[in-house]
Structure 1
Amino acid sequence: MTSVKLKFKESSVSGKEGTLYIQVIHGREVAQVNTGLHIHKEEWDYENGSIVKGYPESGKRAKYLDIIRGKILLEKERMNRIVEYYENGDGLYKVADVVRRYREASCGTVSVFEYIRIQIARLQRLGKERTAETYGQMLNSLVKYRKGMDLYFDMIDTDMMEQYEIFMRVNHLCRNTSSFYMRILRCVYNRAVEEGITVQRQPFRHVYTGVDKTPKRAVTINDIRNIKALRLLRNPVLEFARDIFLFSFYMRGMSFIDIAYLRKKDMSNGFITYNRRKTGQQIVVRLEKPILDIIMKYTLSGSEYLLPVIERQDGTERKQYLNKMLLVNRKLKIIAGMAGIQIPLSMYVARHSWASVAKSMDVSLSVISLGMGHDNEETTRIYLDSIQTDQIDDANVRILKEL
């Protein structure tokens, strides 16, 4: 058996911090591994071999000791996992083997939580706010699973990922959500491998990283007519939510984020041209009368944006968009009841409904895919060079005439 304990060595200089080290004993061999972490002797509990709890901490020192506690737990876990690795082998190893492997693993490493935060900051610098948010959501989930305890990449293995998957299921995350978080974490892990932070151990090979087919929710052309016919003049917030829903439908299922960031300069020569924020793909939509009616109804003078989703340019644009999306989706639930629609309305329903209505009118799948900006659709890739923009616009005219 191998013993791994945290020890403290006082400084020979009065008032100077002492050193925390890990003591490893195997057989009759003893080794000491310096953690590089330092505390005062008053902060060390000699009886329990740990940093004192309840010591009168305040301010920066309290935060410092919290950080030290977290790092110590992390280093001890790493050392224990290395010992476990040797114990599960033939058992013929020396203390020097444990120390060597520990130092190799510790050389120039960055913790997983820290690395994910670095990636979030990188995505934000690149303007990929939505992707950064999903990384943050995954990190929050991982932190909960680890109960706040950080880890290193060499600690991530198939067992841990299977346990993390079980944790998410127990906490009522659907399989697509747990798979989504796994795919993000795998992306982070693979990037760390590319940067030489860790080696590839294929820790995700036993967990689900696919996408389950889910029931798609769409409304019929009759439902769209009923939504359009609602008299909402006495409630401008409901009216705005309804009109933005219709605008998305008229614009071939335009996503809410693209509507929010649509600028007046994107409208020119009878067309609206924009790039999808999700994929970067350029979309060109011919301006039909229903689209123009909504634009003329809501466009504000003095704003560069086409519709009043983002109303102030003060650095809070992202927050304004998110708040307006929540408001619109909440009001759409009310509108659904008023229009006698059984499924809960949302902006996503508008997007999917255009595709569903187009399909019911025998518009080809390739035209639908291209019209919605699905640049990852195999059918779209096959027909991308042969489908003309006017075919898509003609399909949109056929749909709008049904209203």
Structure 2
Amino acid sequence: MATVKIKLDTRRAKSNDTYNIIYKIRHLKKVHTINAGISVLKKHWNSTNSRVINSCPNAKSINLKLLNDYLALEKAILALDDEVTIEKLRLLIKGKTETQTSSFKTFTQQLIDEMLTTKNTGNALVYRTAMNRFLDFCKKDITFTEIDYVLLQKFENHLKLKGLKQNSISNYFRTIRAIYNKAIKHKLVDRSHYPFYDITIKSEQTAKRAISREDIKRLQSIELDEDSTASKSLKYFMLSFYLRGISFTDMAYLKASNINNGRILYNRRKTHKNYSIRLFKPAEAIIKSLQYENSSYLLPIINETLQEDSLEAKKVIKQWIKTTNKYLKRLSLELQSDSTITTYTARHSFATIAKRLGYSNELIAEALGHEYGNKTTAIYLDAFDTNKIDELHIAVIS
């Protein structure tokens, strides 16, 4: 059985020297805290009676709220018994009803907020897009128990009628399924309601994304106005290729501090894996041609005023990717290439060219930061020597 205590959280004072009042909940041998939404001076807190003293401003209303919240928490703990979760109790304090605590929108937004707090902006945007698309179809917020096989089938048909491709539909369904699985783990819905047992999430093989070495050389030889967006888009593509297929997002965040002894050292945002990439002359030349003098960033994609990994920064990068892909598509038409060139093409092309040059899948995977073969076995294997990866690198881009 969970227990509740009202405490003044004196670990950290706010800017006005007040401290937050919290509800301390011990449940399943773990201690959780819920912010009461009230902060007071330490001198106004009576720790013996767990209430503010009479001389505290608004003492009567504060103590009444604390008492009501305490009673509501105790009542919820008794009613829910083994199904009580800290998430349900937090929502209760925020004034949410039981229906709201199990609502798709409320819970998904909670997940999104947590992702934004941990700077997992990419996934936050994926979840938000899926949530908005699904709720737009439902035309209202719904509880998890209302999500069933019939509703999901109707949603799939709706997306098909809208002209969405199968892989886009699959992405929405995988995201909604992930949200539902998290809701089960948070005890917001019983597993017996799980609607995905009979839902097949199909994906289609995407068109070939790599281009040949000859196409890369032809791209290098295209003459463009140096100050044009087309020229800048081509430079971003070539820089990604020269840096072993670095993603556009990671490229956007590169700073002068990431360069050390002729290598670019960075942590990939998608996998949180550290990379060490040799900075060869072609890449160095592109960076010098694009970098602003007074910016700490190597490329003119985001500026100093934007907080890294914020939604605003993500939107700016996403717009740049969209613009870059638009001009790359035009260049692929000009080349009469079999593939439509996008920012992803650089990474796929690097790997494909390396393979055609006879390098092993293991070494290519190491160069791209992928795991190859059995994941458990890979833990015990030494990483390839940096020189071997550098040899592959220079062979591909030469």
The two structures have a TM-score, normalised by structure 2, of 0.69
Alignment partner of 1:399 is 2:396? yes
Between stretches 122-131 and 212-221, larger displacement belongs to 212-221
Contact 1:165–1:207 (Cα < 8 Å) also in 2: no
The 3-state SS of whatever aligns with 1:203 is coil
Alignment CA distance shift 1:310-1:381 (3 Å): farther
Note the C-alpha offset of 1:379: 5.8
Note the C-alpha offset of 1:302: 2.1
Between stretches 310-319 and 325-334, larger displacement belongs to 310-319
The within-5 A match list for 1:200-349 is: 200-201=191-192, 202-315=194-307, 316-349=312-345
Give the corresponding residue for 1:353.
349
What is the CA–CA distance in structure 2 between the aligned matches of 1:274 and 1:319, rounded to whole Å? 22
Contact 1:367–1:380 (Cα < 8 Å) also in 2: no
The within-5 A match list for 1:368-379 is: 368-375=364-371, 377-378=372-373
Give the corresponding residue for 1:153.
144
Alignment partner of 1:367 is 2:363? yes
Letter of the 2:386 counterpart: T
Q: CA RMSD in A?
A: 2.2
Note the C-alpha offset of 1:193: 1.2
What is the CA–CA distance in structure 2 between the aligned matches of 1:107 and 1:328, rounded to whole Å? 45
Question: Any idea what the Cα deviations from partners look like across 1:119-163, whole Å, max 9, x if unmatched?
Answer: 1121111111111111111112211321x2211112222333233
Note the C-alpha offset of 1:342: 4.2
Letter of the 1:161 counterpart: L
The structure with the larger Rg is 1
Q: 1:175 aligns with which of 143, 166, 190?
A: 166
The within-5 A match list for 1:14-29 is: none
Specify every segment of 5 or more residues in structure 2 that has no aligned partner in the other structure, as ranges: 1-96
Specify every segment of 5 or more residues in structure 1 that has no aligned partner in the other structure, as ranges: 1-104
Question: Any idea what the Cα deviations from partners look like across 1:282-323, whole Å, max 9, x if unmatched?
Answer: 111111111111122222222111111113424443332222
What is the CA–CA distance in structure 2 between the aligned matches of 1:333 and 1:309, rounded to whole Å? 20
Question: Any idea what the Cα deviations from partners look like across 1:214-236, whole Å, max 9, x if unmatched?
Answer: 22221100100011111224553
What is the CA–CA distance in structure 2 between the aligned matches of 1:167 and 1:334, rounded to whole Å? 32
Q: 1:388 aligns with which of 369, 385, 389?
A: 385
Aligned residue pairs, count: 295
Between stretches 229-238 and 391-400, larger displacement belongs to 229-238
What is the CA–CA distance in structure 1 between the aligned matches of 2:272 and 2:150, rounded to whole Å? 37
Contact 1:365–1:379 (Cα < 8 Å) also in 2: no
Alignment CA distance shift 1:379-1:248 (3 Å): farther
Contact 2:245–2:350 (Cα < 8 Å) also in 1: yes
Displaced runs of 4 or more, over 6 A: none
Contact 2:332–2:340 (Cα < 8 Å) also in 1: yes
Letter of the 2:184 counterpart: V
Between stretches 201-210 and 347-356, larger displacement belongs to 201-210
Give the corresponding residue for 1:20.
none
Note the C-alpha offset of 1:335: 2.1
Contact 1:248–1:255 (Cα < 8 Å) also in 2: yes
Between stretches 310-319 and 247-256, larger displacement belongs to 310-319
What is the CA–CA distance in structure 2 between the aligned matches of 1:237 and 1:177, rounded to whole Å? 28
What is the CA–CA distance in structure 2 between the aligned matches of 1:211 and 1:382, rounded to whole Å? 29
Question: Any idea what the Cα deviations from partners look like across 1:19-60, whole Å, max 9, x if unmatched?
Answer: xxxxxxxxxxxxxxxxxxxxxxxxxxxxxxxxxxxxxxxxxx
Alignment CA distance shift 1:335-1:111 (3 Å): same
Note the C-alpha offset of 1:380: 7.1
Contact 1:253–1:352 (Cα < 8 Å) also in 2: yes
The within-5 A match list for 1:111-130 is: 111-130=103-122
Alignment CA distance shift 1:397-1:234 (3 Å): closer
